[in-house]
Each structure stands twice: as structure tokens, then as C-alpha cells.
Structure 1
């Protein structure tokens, strides 16, 4: 039989229409909510709507947590556990599971919901809330929102509690309040506390970052790009490219990103060491063939230097190099609408590529939120139906994490992997792959064959 965290007893017993539960990792938020939900489903007739941003597979949802709690209590015979729903045979309680990032309007017609459980609420937007809240209208219904704080400016962190006022109960809980935490997990948290107190406070104590003002790409811009091609009229699709970020060391991973015109349509990540470079190049070639890409861009620094030769040996000769430390492209041309030349604005090619991608995300955000008009090649959309949801959530974090930096001459650059490592942040493989793929227009040369 499972046990609930006694530190949350008063939280669950309090009768409020909105229950907001936040905190750092290992704090038992999801496990406790799952245990409470199963207990209620067994004793009352309730309809649960369990939602999160992305759910390409049922395994991406809290379905697994609910199923585990049922098994831990020995109640398997009491529940019908289907492929996509869970139902109690006696009370009739049922659990429904939704992803809202691309199917928000699907929940409007869901009637009779007693409890709406929103997992990973840090990504909740005001627009999504304006649809979810009026949908949960049954007398006595509750909305549970669980999240790990990301930014102090996030809607769920800054504005929502003010909107709800006395109708909500808010509780912040951390791993230090979890009596069931393993020694291994506790040691992980304490180890980070010694190495990087700031990262420890954010990850394990749930202290939000003040803002993402210092980030090259803001998270709000990325969220606006989700399926923007479905709502913004433009000539979105076109020539396809795949970006390949090559693993640097034993802990690093390889990553691919595929872009169709201005639509991100593929993400892939895998382990593959220096002795498996040919196999990784072959996997990249397969991904390129999967989306019918006409060119592959690859990280040509260090171990990636031989990638072109591997691709050539497989009969794939349409590729270009991405050297992050190289000189900028079109150095004498002014950057954007400024009067500053590229060579005077950017420290290197990496900075130029990240900034140009950031410009496209910002333009998409302005098109979605303000109705501004841009060409498709000045924007970028993310096809959430074609990209793995777990990788997509990681990509959003990776893209919005690197900070703006400056070299000794005042030129802009992107926070280095070495500096990211000091913050206990791993190499942004997926983000770098997207940057490489998006650099196609800047780096890929058009051949005579392509022009004929």
C-alpha cells in the first residue's frame, strides 16, 4: 500500500476550487497527486481530466503514475486499465488524458469534470487558462496545478495566484519535506548544493529565475512558435535541411533537427561515441531521407570534422560545415535594421546563427500575438504533431537557457558550453542542431545541379 506525504495532508483536505502545488525536484508533488487521485476515484464517483502541454503517447502523461499507485495498493482488479483511459469498476470514476499545446480546443466539449489535474504547469499560458478554467464548471469541481518554478514572470507563478485570490490554496514543497526520498536522490541534491548553490536553489528548492531577459531566445517566443504554421498564413514549407550536432565526449549526445522550409519537423537524439561516428552519420542520413531533405549541415569542430567524409562514402554529398568559432558570414553587410556591420556586431559564426534564429522566433511571436506580418523565411514554426513531445520540451529549455555574452571588444556571443557547465547545464545538443539546420540559407551553397 502506498502512503501520502504527511506534509501535504492539510493541502489535500482544504476545500478550495483551485489547488496550486509547486516546488523543486524530488518533492513528491506528482506522486502525491497520483495517490490522492486514486484514493478519491476508489471511494467516490468522479471524472478526472489529466492534462499537460504535450502528449504524443499515453506514457507521456500521468497515466503511468496512476497505474503504479493502483498496483502498489493492490487494487488492480478494481480498475479497468485501458489503452488510453482508466476506470473504477464500482464507482465509475474515470481518468481522461489530454495534451493541450496543440489540442486546446478539444477539451472545451469535455463535460462533467470533477477534478482537472494540470501537470508541468510552468508552461501554462494565459490563453490556455482562458479555455481550461470555464470548462471546469461542475459544482464542487477542483483544478490542481503542479509545477517546478521556472521564471518568476511565468503566468502560473506571477499572475494566476492573483487572479484566483482566496479561491486557491498554494503550497510550496521541496525534497526536504519528502519523508520517502531515497538516500541516493537526497545525495544528488546535496552534491549540487556544494558545487553550485544557485542551480541547487532553482532545481531542488524551486526558486524561480528572475526572468529570461538575459537569454538569447525567450521562452515565450518559443511557445508562440508551436504550430504557428497552422494559424499564420505564409508560404511555410520549402527546401528541407537537417542539422547534425556531433557528440563531443562520453557524456555528450548526438542530435538531429529537421526543418521543412521554416517548419521544424524532426528531432532526434542518441548516444554515440567517437568510435561510432560512421554509425551516427548513417543515422543522420536516414533522418534526412525520412523528411526528403536536400542538404545536411554538421558541426565540423573536433570529432565532427570527418562527418563530411563519412557522408560522402555513403553517397550523400549535399552537406555543409558549421564551425561555431568561424568568422561571420557576409561581414560587410549590416545586421538587420541596424547600421552595424555583421563583423562588428557578432563575435563569431555561432553568435550570428543564434541571433538570426532568435530574430525568427521573435518575429513569429509578434505575428502570433500582435498580428505583425513577416515572410515565412523570417519566422519559424514547430510542428508539435511530428516532433517527440519529450524532446520538444527539452528543446524549449535548451533554446531559452544560453545567455547573451560579450567578448573583450564588445561583440555579442552566446554563453559557452564551458560556462553552461559551470551552471550544471548540459550541452544544448538539440538546440545546436536546430541552429545548424536553420543556418542552411546562410551556409549552404547552391550547386549548378540545383539551379538546372
Structure 2
């Protein structure tokens, strides 16, 4: 018996393993999600045909005026990339089918061809590409037509609007039996150099929100609810002698949250976040050694941490019995007061800029997503802060604790030698 091997991004292997009604991937450019799903439709068509199952692989998009607007070319290229698949399929200008004619591809636009889709015999797989723009009406009509035993619905898309029908169905409220992942260029082992150069160019010339939408699978909209909107950017830098700092902060994790740490500094009324470190499920005994390995110089400086866990601070500060454990001898809890979170946010926003090094990916993610609550009915931005996407942000606030003023005197407290610099 001959075994065929195919290449998939590792993150997609569990998506295509085992039983599932829904399989999908969302994310930015260069992730190989479209090509991978196109390839897997051909693999499944081969498996169906070899098992004696007849039917249709339906490839749909919201808008499709002609085959040129469809996924047909992606499927053809995917089949031709594997000699054993290329030999198994009959490919014409306007059709793709197995040579034994058991399985054929159909291509349709969901907006205008939903009624004709209902007549497609035995839909085995419905793959919806560019699914961000698919309407709720289309889903309501499409899904019941994919009704064969063992039939599946596949979805691939680049997120754009928070709360789109696709987002609501498959991210916020994923149905039972779904296997859907976020897939970005960092998950693609074969990400080409030509796209890497384009990505770096976009990082330098585009605003971060647009860059994040194109490459990191973030929502495109720049909401007024985003706490740090317009205050941060991504740039490579080196920590210079002229910088104040380094300042170190730690936020303690819980069962689902990471213990998060940052190293940052200040220069010319700008905050520079240079290194981050974090892990979910980090044991107290391992915190010091973990941070020492990832935040340069942390063991030599004052480290400011969440004061809500004094027992953890004491543990991390101690070397343990007979000095058997790495420690952070100068760690201390930060002062807190009613409104200290809001005062910390005011402090962060009072910098000219917050520059985040590109290696600090989780800090950058939080800068994009840390937000105020939004009224569900009116859409109004509220003053309450969403308690999420804030672990590295909190660590940054703790690192800067002595510089943060209480309410009534909000503003930026900088070291004297920086005050007045332009």
C-alpha cells in the first residue's frame, strides 16, 4: 500500500484530523490558508472517489460573476502541485473532476446563485473562501443544503469587521463540531522571501491597524473603544545609554492567564517596550529563572509587580532552601488605589508615543485589542474597561508605577533630565 504525503502548516493538522462538521482558518496574508484548503478539497475528493462515493465539492464565495472570480485556479494549482493528484484529476478550462467521474467541483456565488446551489446533487464539502463578506442570509440558505451524512462546511477568511456574520457564527459562537484556527504568516513554514520584503515595507509605511489587518488577521476597524488607539507604533530600536530605565514589571498569571513581564525604558517623552516574557501555568518556583532568561538584566534591577499576590512576591524574592532557586532579590509590589488602573492608562496615553519592538508580539496584540466596554444596544463607548487583553499592559503599568500620578494630577511624570526635551 502506497502512502501519500502532503505539506500543511502544522497549525492546520488538527483542523483536518478526526471528525468535524465545520473546519476553517482565519487570518492575514501569507498564511497559506487558501492554498492549503484548496489542496485538502482535492485530497478529500480523491478519498471520496476511491471509496466509491459520488458527489460535489462546492467552492463558493459571496460574489462570483464568472469563473475568474472563483477559487478554481487555486484548486487547479493545488492539484498540479502534487503529481499523484494531478494524475487522478481531469482538469479542463471550465471544470475539475476525478477521472472516474465520481466527484466533480462546482463553483458558485452565494449572493446570486443560492437557489441553484440547492439543486447541486450530494454536496460532500462546501468550501467558502473569502468568507468575511458572506451574509447571514447566505448562511441560513446554504448550510441546510449541505446535508449528506458526513458532509462538511469549510470556511477561510481574513477578518475585517468585529461582529460580521462569519465572525459571529464561527469565532464568537463556534458551533459544536467545529475546528477553526487563526492562521497568519508566522504559521507558514514556507512563507516566501518576496512576501517578507513586502511585509516589512508595509510595517514601515502603513498605520499599525492596517498592517495588522493585512498581515496579522486583526479586525480592520480602528474603534474608538481601543484604549491605546493612535498612541503606539512598531519599530526596531536598541536600548541606548540615554534612555531612562530599564524598568521591569510583572503581572501574575492564573489558570488561564499568563504570568507576564516586560522590560521598558523612556527617552524624549516616549515609552519604549523592548522585551516581553510570558507563560500560562508558570509555577512560582520557575518564575525568576524564566524571566531572567528572557528579560535582560531583570535580576539586577528593581522589579515592580502586582501587589495582590504578596505571597508570590515573597516566593520569587527568596532563593529557597540552600539557595537552590533563582530569585529576583529586588522585586516589590506596586502601590494601588481606587482608580489606579485609569490613572495608569492616562499615564500611558500621555507619552508622545509608545514604541513597541516587533519581537514583543503579545504586547503588540494587547495594544491593538485593550479596550473600553461598548454598549450592546447603542454602540456607545463606555468608561468601564474590558478586563481582557491586558496582562502585558498591566505589567507595563507596574513597571512605571512610581511615575504614575493619582487622579487630580494626571499627566506624565518624567525623570527631571527628560523634562522639557523636545
TM-score tier by shorter-chain length is: 0.3 to 0.5
Structure with greater strand percent = 2
User: If each structure's helix is expressed as a fraction of its own residues, which one has the higher value?
Assistant: 1
- Point out the structure with max Rg over C-alpha: 2
Give the TM-score normalised by structure 1: 0.44
**TM-score, L = length of structure 2:** 0.47
